[in-house]
Amino acid sequence: MNYRFFVDDGWSGANFERPSFKEMIEGVENGEIKTIITKELSRLGRNYLQVGMYTELHWTRA
C-alpha cells in the first residue's frame, strides 16, 4: 500500500484552486487514488457545499 500526502501550506482552505488539492483531485478522477483520509472535511475545504459536491458528484463510484 502506498501513501501520499497532499499539503498546501500557505493556501486558504476556502480556495479550491490549491496546487496539491488539484493534483489530488486529478489522481482520484484518473483512478490513481482510491481512498482519501482526512482528519475532518474542513481539511479538504472550508466551503462545505463545495466539499459535498466533490464527495457526491466527483468521487462517488457505483
Dump the DSSP string for 20-56: HHHHHHHHHHTTS------SSGGGT-S-HHHHHHIII
CATH number of the domain at 32, please. 3.40.50.1390
Cα pseudo-dihedral 1, 28, 44, 12, rounded to 10: 110
Question: Which residues constitute the domain of residue 42?
Answer: 1-62
- Report DSSP state, residue 57: I
pLDDT digits (tens, 9 = 90+) for 33-54: 888 888 888 888 888 888 888 7
Q: Give the number of domains in the chain.
A: 1
What pLDDT is recorded for position 60? Answer: 66
Closest CA to 28 of 14, 13, 42, 38: 38
pTM, whole model, 2 decimals? Answer: 0.77
